């Protein structure tokens, strides 16, 4: 089998043999009780895009769901009013999209989107409006 070379660059043979080790200082930190101050500091340091702030404020002012004082059924009724009559015969063709543009905008493959919109058969003017963003 051969024997291990202890001079290998980038490989800690002792750590591989004995497993990961922590220092006494780290051990003391791991077993120390967690204070309320540490919990509050951790909660305050959560990014705005992760959760409502400590004061219960919403992530974004355009947020519609899970907002104190607003009810989800208000938004359901609004969506219903918007789509009511879509299936009526002889009416003007309609299209409704719901997008979270703030998140979606940065991840869109615009060439692929343009190709898909053409394949679906949407009018060129409509595609230009979308591509202008």
Each residue's pLDDT tens digit, 86-109: 777 777 777 766 655 555 556 677
Domains of the chain: total: 1
- Judged against a pLDDT cut of 70, whether residue 10 lies above it is answered with no
Rg of the chain (C-alpha set): 28
pTM exceeding the 0.95 threshold for the entire prediction: no
Residue 106 lies in a domain: yes
- Judged against a pLDDT cut of 70, whether residue 62 lies above it is answered with no
Distance CA 111, CA 27 (A): 53
Residue 39 lies in a domain: no
Residue 88 lies in a domain: no
- Judged against a pLDDT cut of 70, whether residue 52 lies above it is answered with no
pLDDT confidence band for 38 (50 / 70 / 90): confident
Residue 71 lies in a domain: no
Residue 111 lies in a domain: yes
Residue 92 lies in a domain: no
Domain of 116 in residue numbering reads as: 99-133
Distance CA 87, CA 105 (A): 30
Sign of CA dihedral 65, 67, 73, 77: negative
């Amino acid at each position: 089998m051969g024997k291990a070379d202890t001079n290998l660059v980038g490989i800690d043979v002792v750590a591989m043999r004995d497993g990961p080790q922590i220092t006494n200082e780290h051990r003391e930190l791991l077993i120390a009780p967690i204070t309320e101050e540490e919990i509050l500091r951790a909660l305050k340091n959560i990014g705005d895009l992760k959760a409502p702030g400590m004061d219960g404020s919403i992530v974004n002012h355009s947020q519609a769901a899970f907002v104190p004082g607003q009810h989800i059924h208000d938004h359901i009724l609004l969506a219903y009013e918007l789509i009511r009559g879509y299936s009526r015969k002889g009416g003007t063709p309609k299209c409704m999209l719901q997008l979270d543009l703030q998140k979606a905008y940065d991840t869109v493959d615009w060439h692929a989107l343009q190709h898909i919109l053409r394949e679906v058969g949407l009018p060129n003017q409509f595609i230009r409006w979308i591509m202008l963003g």
